[in-house]
Chain A
Amino acid sequence: MSNEATLHSHQEVHGSLEHDQHGNGHDGHEHHGTFISKYVFSMDHKMIAKQFLITGIVWAIIGAFFSVLFRLQLGFPDTSFPWLSSILGHWAENGHIKPEAYYALVTMHGTILVFFVLTAGLSGTFSNFLIPLQVGARDMASPFMNMLSYWFFFIASLVMMASLFVQTGPASGGWTAYPPLSALGDASIGSKIGMDLWITSMALFVVSQLLGGLNYISTILNMRTKGMSMTKMPLTIWAFFFTAVLGVLSFPVLLSGFILLLFDRHAGTSFYLSDIFVAGKALSNEGGSAILYQHLFWFLGHPEVYIIVLPAMGIVSEVLAINSRKPIFGYLAMIGSLFAICILAFLVWAHHMFVTGLNPFLGAFFVLLTLLIAVPSAIKVFNWLTTIWRGNINFTPGALFSIGFVSTFISGGLTGIWLGNSSIDIHLHDTYFVIAHFHIVMGVSAFFGMFAGIYHWFPKMYGRFLNNTLGYIHFWITLCGAYLIFWPMHYEGLAGMPRRYYDYSTWESFKQFAGLNHFISIVVIMVFATQLLFVFNFFYSIFKGRKLTIANPWKATTLEWTTPIHAGHGNWPGEVPEVHRWPYDYSKDGVDFIPQTVPIGPNESEH
């Protein structure tokens, strides 16, 4: 009832634009909204989810393509690629990417993938799509704010895109944008107008995240259907909930860091600047601390990696349980470990700063708290393993990517134990070991979670299936490719090879890896081509995929599959169903699955 009330009251405020749409949603009729209100300025959480997803895919192609470009430089430093000059112009004269362009590509690759793809594209898509559907709400708490969340993201995207085309190039100080490098246009060409656009875009992005996050939290807390107590929610929802909490509490700190940076750039303040001599003259700034920025940045930056990986964890838990035909093992422990990760995420930021001159005594606490995160992570891994143990696993592409997620999460997570220990970090910090670690644990893993989600919920989104064979090809090549790319990088890191180098050929200590870099770059190109295959599959299947004929193709228990194949705005044609049980009654008492809407029978065993 409260859902309906919200929807109607909201309609009175903003009624003129989408009156028809709202009125009809839960009457089961087709929409009669205009193209604009249905596909562009839609307030339907399902459409907004698709907008986030497709924008995310576009960004993912761009961001991944950038990595192909800079891998060309790393893998083939002596080869000239004339076509590079055609697309990059003076940034790649004679077919060689210039250092300035290389650093711009590296920076934009990081920014795009971390924020625009794995935050907006992953949590934006699935939080929007699944929260109302799985908790049994007709839409978000505020559909209007939800729409704004997407459009702020869209404007942030436009600004970031524009920064690629300014004369001095986009930001090029790394995705972390440490000052003074990012504060002084004289220190780096990318710190001129490109950096202002980067800050503007990120500020808009933070607004988008806050609008989205507040909505996710209030929807989960207030708009669950009858019977849907917190402990009857699927783990996806728990994961999105903690993700949103992390975002709401940490993004404002990042914004404050950016605002101080903006002041230092243009208002002559000295928050981050002190004792600097650049471009032949000493600056007047004194007393600032360049390290202050790093504290503010990593106070978001570390929770950010959990913002990226928690939704993937939630999706994987759900998809593994469904396709193993077993309940997720240790449901409460799974929630507990998500909660523990969420709390610890705020208490470990300085492990990115062990070599900044941080007080060693203070560093000790960050070591302790960082390694503590391995405990809830281990619990989750063992629970996933037990979930598939003695299951009856149907290898849908979604299930494959979930298994791939667990594999990469183990491999990448364990190296976190190395880096979290400050004594080891002092050697491995800012080397390829770090690149290998975080690409496996939050890059590849989060992408696997995202792919699992896309393959699994695509039928709910578009009423059609993705092509399975392409899905299998996509999975196996990506899994093998990811390991071939990142596993050997650990060795480069152990030799101390620094990250973010344009060329290693002059270094006696690192040039022995030229052959390996060559190999990695070739694999990168192949894996990138395979992702394009997925993109093709995605867009082709929206229009031509095999049609969904039954409402619940995976025989899942959760509420989203009780909606019609093409659910209108409002999700359920009639009453929102009532929930009677937890979402993991698979193979209970010999029954394949019992939907959440089925009341507990008199002879049913306790779970």
Chain B
Amino acid sequence: MSGFLTVLVIVLIFVVIFQIAKASEYVSILKGEKKARQQSNRINGFLMIVFLVLGLFGAYYCNDVLKDKLGPGAASVQGEGIDTLIAVTLAITGFVCVVTQVLLFWFAFKFQEKEGRNAFYFPHNSKLEVIWTVIPAIALTILVAFGLKHWFAITSDAPKDAMVVEVTGKQFNWLVRYPGKDGQLGSKKFKLISDVNSNPVGQDWEDGLNKDDFMSNEIHLVVGKPVKFIIGSRDVIHDVGLPQFRMKMDAVPGIPTTLWITPKYTTTDMRAKTENPDFVFELSCDQMCGAGHFSMRAVIVVETQQEFDAWAAKQKSQYELANASATPAPAAGADSTASKAVAIAK
């Protein structure tokens, strides 16, 4: 019933607007075309200035309301450089945006049609055109230079002492594998993948390096220690998105990718910083991967070396889990993160 009423109200509003519009056309014929044109130019010219003022105020207000929702800034060393680059780019583009928008709406208001005004025949001016070719070119060169400097820094090889974490995307959760005590990940083959036999990433049990590799639902990282993610997918393209660390890399089936970061704050630090006791670092899937895309979430815990070591010591290797008979498969548990998607889908 309320739906019907809403539609009725909308239709009524339409009819009223249409009647006004039609009437205004008759009025303009009565008043004479010239007078109607002058009036509409005055109104629209005035609205140009109104829009400019409201727009500038609105942009300020929008920033005021939303700036606290952005979070406390980058939580990785690499991300801080990105934040700086964003700030520089914002300063340059923000300045250009305000100046050009002000000119646009001010000109529109100022040079609205008036009786007796003649437009100025001004087809070109080489000097002006050179100026506004060269200045943007210089500004952009600066941005490219800073951007690429940082780009090469963050895409360079990870430090030798970086810890290694393998993240594999699947519909619809993340499979996280640690190399274990030997610090080396064992080899894997996609044809060996078996969820039933607790081998979700297809580890080759013949490979001795696999014996101590363990898997986890959460990603644990050590504060201040570089970490290199080895990223893959076992079905469609996913993307490892690390919003607080300002990093991102696609997970592509068949083509391993990497990214590395140095976390700067522990999860506990961030809880204090944001004054939010529920704060967690999250890994989001940033490449559309199917109906459960929005639920591909993993929690990242950044902690001290001691905390990490204690946690790692408690983990059971996947080899153990897969080869111990009658053990419930933990990999199936990993699927529960996608429960919401699956529940709604079914």
Q: Is the CB of B82 within 8 A of A427?
A: yes
Tell me what chain B mostly uses at the interface: helix, strand, loop, or mixed: helix
* Measured CA separation A476–B43 after assembly (Å): 12
With contacts A333-B129, A368-B144, A427-B247 known, is A496 near B122, CB below 8 A?
no
* Measured CA separation A418–B236 after assembly (Å): 28
Q: Is the CB of B241 within 8 A of A498?
A: yes
B330 at the interface (CB under 8 A from A): no
A290 at the interface (CB under 8 A from B): yes
Chain B 115-158 interface 0/1 with A at a Cβ cutoff of 8 Å (1 = within): 00111111111001100110011001001100110111011000
- Which chain A residue lies CB-closest to B285? A498
* Measured CA separation A1–B294 after assembly (Å): 62
**B285 cross-chain contacts in A, Cβ below 8 A:** 498
Chain A 466-510 interface 0/1 with B at a Cβ cutoff of 8 Å (1 = within): 011110110010011001100110010011111011111011111
Q: Is the CB of A421 within 8 A of B121?
A: no
Q: Is the CB of A424 within 8 A of B86?
A: yes
Q: Is the CB of B111 within 8 A of A388?
A: yes
Chain A stretch 491-546: residues in CB contact (< 8 A) with chain B: 491, 494-498, 500-504, 506-510, 512-513, 516, 529, 532-533, 536-537, 546
Chain B stretch 328-346: residues in CB contact (< 8 A) with chain A: 340-341, 344-345
With contacts A356-B250, A403-B104 known, is A430 near B171, CB below 8 A?
no
- Which chain A residue lies CB-closest to B294? A501
Chain A 365-388 interface 0/1 with B at a Cβ cutoff of 8 Å (1 = within): 001100110110011011101101
**A188 cross-chain contacts in B, Cβ below 8 A:** 236, 290-291
**B111 cross-chain contacts in A, Cβ below 8 A:** 324, 388-393
**A587 cross-chain contacts in B, Cβ below 8 A:** 118-121
**B170 cross-chain contacts in A, Cβ below 8 A:** 277
A426 at the interface (CB under 8 A from B): yes
> Contact residue range for chain A?
35 or more
B69 CB, nearest partner CB in chain A, Å: 5
**A274 cross-chain contacts in B, Cβ below 8 A:** 253-255
Contact partner of A360 (CB less than 8 A), chosen from B37, B129, B140, B152, is: B152
- Which chain A residue lies CB-closest to B342? A99
* Measured CA separation A273–B114 after assembly (Å): 65
Q: Is the CB of B137 within 8 A of A180?
A: no
Q: Which of B14-22, B209-217, B219-227, B311-319 contacts A (4 or more CB under 8 A)?
A: B14-22
**A290 cross-chain contacts in B, Cβ below 8 A:** 237, 252-255
* Measured CA separation A532–B15 after assembly (Å): 12
Q: Is the CB of A329 within 8 A of B55?
A: no
Q: Is the CB of A329 within 8 A of B122?
A: yes
* Measured CA separation A382–B243 after assembly (Å): 36
B162 at the interface (CB under 8 A from A): no
Contact partner of B239 (CB less than 8 A), chosen from A179, A325, A355, A391, is: A355
Q: Is the CB of A504 within 8 A of B294?
A: yes
**B20 cross-chain contacts in A, Cβ below 8 A:** 469
With contacts A181-B237, A411-B97, A488-B62 known, is A430 near B286, CB below 8 A?
yes
* Measured CA separation A274–B232 after assembly (Å): 12
**B118 cross-chain contacts in A, Cβ below 8 A:** 392, 587, 590
A584 at the interface (CB under 8 A from B): yes
Chain B stretch 185-217: residues in CB contact (< 8 A) with chain A: 190-191, 193, 195, 202
B198 CB, nearest partner CB in chain A, Å: 14
Q: Is the CB of B253 within 8 A of A99?
A: no
B167 CB, nearest partner CB in chain A, Å: 14
Q: Is the CB of B171 within 8 A of A187?
A: yes
Contact partner of B286 (CB less than 8 A), chosen from A328, A332, A498, A508, is: A498
Q: Is the CB of B17 within 8 A of A491?
A: no
A136 at the interface (CB under 8 A from B): no
Chain A 135-172 interface 0/1 with B at a Cβ cutoff of 8 Å (1 = within): 00000000000000000000000000000000000001
Q: Is the CB of A280 within 8 A of B195?
A: yes
B278 at the interface (CB under 8 A from A): yes
B103 at the interface (CB under 8 A from A): yes
With contacts A395-B112, A415-B93, A426-B248 known, is A501 near B293, CB below 8 A?
yes
Contact partner of B25 (CB less than 8 A), chosen from A180, A287, A468, is: A468
* Measured CA separation A500–B21 after assembly (Å): 39
**A173 cross-chain contacts in B, Cβ below 8 A:** 288, 290
B323 at the interface (CB under 8 A from A): no
Q: Is the CB of B293 within 8 A of A502?
A: yes
A58 at the interface (CB under 8 A from B): no
Contact partner of A330 (CB less than 8 A), chosen from B51, B124, B286, is: B124
Contact partner of B340 (CB less than 8 A), chosen from A332, A426, A506, is: A506
Chain B stretch 36-51: residues in CB contact (< 8 A) with chain A: 37, 40-41, 43-45, 47-48, 51
Q: Is the CB of A327 within 8 A of B122?
A: yes
With contacts A469-B21, A513-B69 known, is A355 near B341, CB below 8 A?
no
With contacts A355-B248, A367-B148, A424-B86 known, is A275 near B21, CB below 8 A?
no
B32 at the interface (CB under 8 A from A): no
B289 at the interface (CB under 8 A from A): yes
With contacts A367-B148, A375-B140 known, is A529 near B284, CB below 8 A?
no
Residues of A within 8 A of B (CB): 82-83, 96, 98-100, 103, 172-174, 178-181, 184, 187-189, 273-278, 280, 282, 286-291, 324-333, 355-357, 360, 363-364, 367-368, 371-372, 374-375, 378-379, 381-383, 385-386, 388-395, 400, 403, 406-407, 410-411, 414-415, 417-418, 421-424, 426-427, 429-431, 467-470, 472-473, 476, 479-480, 483-484, 487-488, 491, 494-498, 500-504, 506-510, 512-513, 516, 529, 532-533, 536-537, 546, 584, 586-590, 607
3 A-B pairs closest in CB distance: A496-B243, A274-B254, A357-B257
Q: Given contact pairs A174-B288, A180-B237, enumerate 15 new A-B contacts (beta carbons under 8 Å).
A: A277-B193, A278-B171, A280-B195, A290-B253, A331-B124, A355-B239, A374-B136, A382-B100, A386-B128, A403-B108, A410-B101, A422-B151, A424-B86, A508-B279, A587-B121
Mind listing 13 A-B residue pairs with CB under 8 Å?
A98-B345, A184-B236, A331-B124, A393-B45, A395-B40, A417-B89, A427-B82, A430-B248, A488-B66, A498-B294, A500-B293, A503-B295, A586-B121
Residues of B within 8 A of A (CB): 3, 10, 14, 17-18, 20-22, 24-25, 28, 37, 40-41, 43-45, 47-48, 51, 55, 58-59, 62-63, 66-67, 69-71, 79, 81-82, 85-86, 89, 92-93, 96-97, 100-101, 103-105, 107-108, 111-114, 117-125, 128-129, 132-133, 136-137, 140, 143-144, 147-148, 150-152, 154-155, 170-171, 190-191, 193, 195, 202, 234-237, 239, 241, 243-244, 246-250, 252-255, 257, 278-280, 282, 284-295, 297, 340-341, 344-345
